[in-house]
């Protein structure tokens, strides 16, 4: 969603880094470019003006740091003020002292209330809670049935009116919501999520109905589900609902879409309520707490390492990951291991999203479309190999390549390219691992050695050939050395 805005900031910051200290006129020129970039991203004009004013005050006022260059000062100010505009900090969900904690979901029809009610139930389950979903949308045909289908996938029960009442469209949503809270207490369910009806546009009848439900259940949290692709209309919708319901937060959907993203940057400052959760895809697991600082970092091209780590922790078993890393460094990493890693990466979501979270990725690489089709081709090639070929790819000759290509629907050249790249990667990682082990051994030898006496043999000694190492390995080892920390020895 924020690709074009990220590209604009990339260009602005690239030009900034070539300069030293900035004059006031140069700061104003940079701020003019930032203002244009934000307005093109459909950010509310009032929000843009206030953001621009705060950044200017910090860059040309008393806050200028002597330790930073002008470019660094501007980038730091933009990052911090953008984070503040997005909400400042992540919302902290607290629970009612006397269960259940009641969550009311409101929004226009088509914004994704029902789907996000199920996603929220899944999120609460992951926090160790026992949610109950409530089908209080008795006007839209099949709304309750949709909620039941989604709830079955996350293992959460649904409370609603009897089927014949739902089918006739005659049920009272206020009565259903009240009954759900009593049922939750009876069943020991500590979270109740009420899915309410929506309309194609805001009207007095809809507002009155959702207000009556709110008065009846006295929710601990009222979340407005907003489609991020509505642009500035999303902010207007949020203002209207907030006037009626006193919102606690916004759930922003379709953040994986191709809209310009202005709603995400405007809603907190205009409405005064934070974005609580973000829906980043169609799957039920594509739902997470909204982190303003992380999104600001992604918009400014700084990556989002924390979210990347969290996603990796969800799909990787720590022990298996350690074993794979050790085999990789020892040079015993096989194509079976490679296939396992690919499967785990696929569970983390689209590769384009993963690339966007990695800091320092060039725009040209970030913009490359890597879809499931490309990954599927690699999987097909590996699965067309025998067990022996996956363990020892060196035995694959021309006839074997032809057979593998025929079995995977590719050509022998593609098979050869994959094998070549795999061998190069394994060789590089083995060399890196050997370099790390040598450093550990040298450090251990220094600790054991006593002072005085010759420590090297007589005569000239040829300097050891340096192994190929990835950039950043030596500085890391040196830094650990300074801190007195040992690198783990690989056995």
Domains and CATH numbers, the chain: 3-86 (1.20.120.140), 101-301 (3.40.50.300), 310-320+335-428 (1.10.260.30)
* Among candidate residues 360, 336, 348, the one with its CA nearest the CA of residue 422: 336
Residue 297's pLDDT is what?
77
Q: Could you tell me the two tokens for 443?
A: 């450090």
Residues 6+ away with beta carbon under 8 Å from 362: none
* Among candidate residues 54, 105, 44, the one with its CA nearest the CA of residue 82: 54
Q: Could you tell me the two tokens for 315?
A: 């799909």
Report d(CA 144, CA 426) in Å as an integer.
Answer: 53
Residue pLDDT tens, the chain, 491 long: 566 777 777 777 777 776 666 677 878 888 888 888 888 887 888 888 888 888 888 877 544 555 556 677 777 888 888 888 888 888 899 999 898 999 999 888 888 889 999 999 999 999 999 999 999 888 877 888 999 999 999 999 999 888 777 777 677 889 999 999 999 999 999 999 999 888 766 777 778 888 899 998 999 999 988 887 776 777 778 888 888 888 888 898 887 765 566 777 777 877 888 889 988 888 888 888 888 888 777 777 665 566 666 666 665 566 666 666 666 556 577 888 778 777 776 666 666 666 666 655 555 555 555 556 777 888 889 889 998 998 888 899 999 999 999 998 989 998 998 888 888 877 776 666 555 545 555 655 555 554 444 444 444 444 444 443 333 334 444 444 544 544 444 33
- 290-295 long-range contacts, Cβ below 8 Å, gap at least 24? 290/87, 290/90, 290/91, 290/252, 291/90, 292/83, 292/84, 292/86, 292/87, 292/88, 292/89, 292/90, 292/268, 293/83, 293/89, 295/2, 295/86, 295/264
Helix (H, G, I), strand (E, B) or coil at 21: coil
Residue pair 140/206 in contact by the 8 Å Cβ criterion: no
pTM: 0.65
CA distances from 476 to 181, 306, 485 (A): 55, 20, 11
Count CB atoms within 10 A of the CB of residue 270: 19
- Which uninterrupted H or E stretch holds 276? strand 275-279
Report d(CA 269, CA 48) in Å as an integer.
Answer: 10
Q: Give the strand pairing for 275-279 and 249-253.
A: parallel
Residue pair 190/95 in contact by the 8 Å Cβ criterion: yes
Q: How far is CA 475 from the centre of its chain?
A: 29
Residue 253's pLDDT is what?
86
Residue pair 110/200 in contact by the 8 Å Cβ criterion: yes
Residue pair 193/132 in contact by the 8 Å Cβ criterion: yes
Helix (H, G, I), strand (E, B) or coil at 487: coil
Residue 20's pLDDT is what?
63
Q: How far is CA 109 from the centre of its chain?
A: 26
């Amino acid at each position: 969603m924020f690709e074009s805005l990220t590209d604009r900031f990339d260009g602005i910051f690239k030009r900034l880094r070539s300069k030293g200290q900035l004059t006031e006129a140069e700061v104003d020129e940079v701020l003019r470019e930032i203002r244009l970039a934000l307005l093109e991203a459909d950010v509310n004009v009032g929000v843009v003006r206030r953001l621009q004013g705060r950044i200017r005050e910090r860059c040309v006022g008393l806050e200028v740091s002597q330790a930073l260059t002008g470019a660094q000062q501007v980038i730091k100010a933009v990052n911090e003020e953008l984070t503040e505009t997005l909400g400042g900090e992540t919302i902290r969900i607290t629970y009612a002292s006397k269960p259940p904690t009641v969550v009311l979901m409101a929004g226009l029809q088509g914004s994704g209330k029902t789907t996000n009610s199920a996603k929220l139930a899944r999120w609460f389950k992951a926090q160790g809670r026992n949610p109950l979903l409530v089908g209080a949308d008795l006007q839209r045909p099949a709304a309750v049935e949709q909620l039941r289908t989604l709830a079955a996938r996350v293992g959460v029960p649904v409370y609603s009116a009897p089927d014949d009442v739902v089918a006739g469209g005659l049920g009272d949503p206020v009565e259903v919501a009240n009954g759900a809270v009593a049922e939750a207490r009876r069943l020991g369910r500590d979270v109740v999520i009420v899915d309410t009806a929506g309309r194609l546009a805001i009207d007095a009848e809809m507002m009155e109905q959702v207000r009556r439900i709110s008065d009846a259940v006295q929710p601990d949290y009222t979340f407005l589900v907003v489609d991020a692709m509505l642009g500035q209309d999303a902010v207007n919708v949020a203002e209207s609902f907030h006037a009626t319901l006193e919102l606690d937060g916004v759930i922003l959907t379709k953040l994986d879409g191709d809209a310009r993203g202005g709603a995400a940057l405007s809603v907190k400052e205009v409405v005064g309520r934070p974005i609580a959760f973000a829906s980043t895809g169609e799957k039920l697991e594509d739902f997470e707490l909204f982190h303003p600082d992380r999104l600001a970092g992604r918009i400014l091209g700084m990556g989002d390492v924390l979210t990347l780590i969290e996603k990796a922790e969800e799909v990787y078993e720590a022990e298996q990951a350690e074993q794979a890393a050790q085999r990789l460094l020892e040079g015993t990493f096989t194509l079976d291991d490679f296939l396992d890693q690919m499967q785990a990466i696929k569970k983390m979501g689209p590769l384009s999203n993963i690339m966007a979270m990695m800091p320092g990725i060039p725009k040209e690489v970030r913009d490359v479309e890597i879809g499931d089709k490309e990954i599927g081709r690699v999987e097909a090639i590996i699965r067309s190999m025998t067990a022996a070929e996956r363990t020892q790819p060196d035995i694959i000759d021309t006839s074997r390549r032809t057979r593998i290509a025929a079995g995977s629907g590719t050509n022998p050249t593609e098979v050869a390219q994959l094998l070549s790249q795999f061998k190069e990667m394994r060789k590089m990682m083995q060399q890196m691992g050997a370099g790390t082990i040598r450093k550990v051994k040298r450090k251990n030898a220094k600790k054991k050695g006593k002072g005085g006496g010759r420590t090297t043999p007589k005569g000239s000694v040829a300097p050891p050939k340096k192994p190929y190492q990835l950039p950043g390995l030596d500085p890391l080892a040196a830094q650990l050395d300074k801190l007195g920390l040992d690198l783990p020895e690989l056995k």
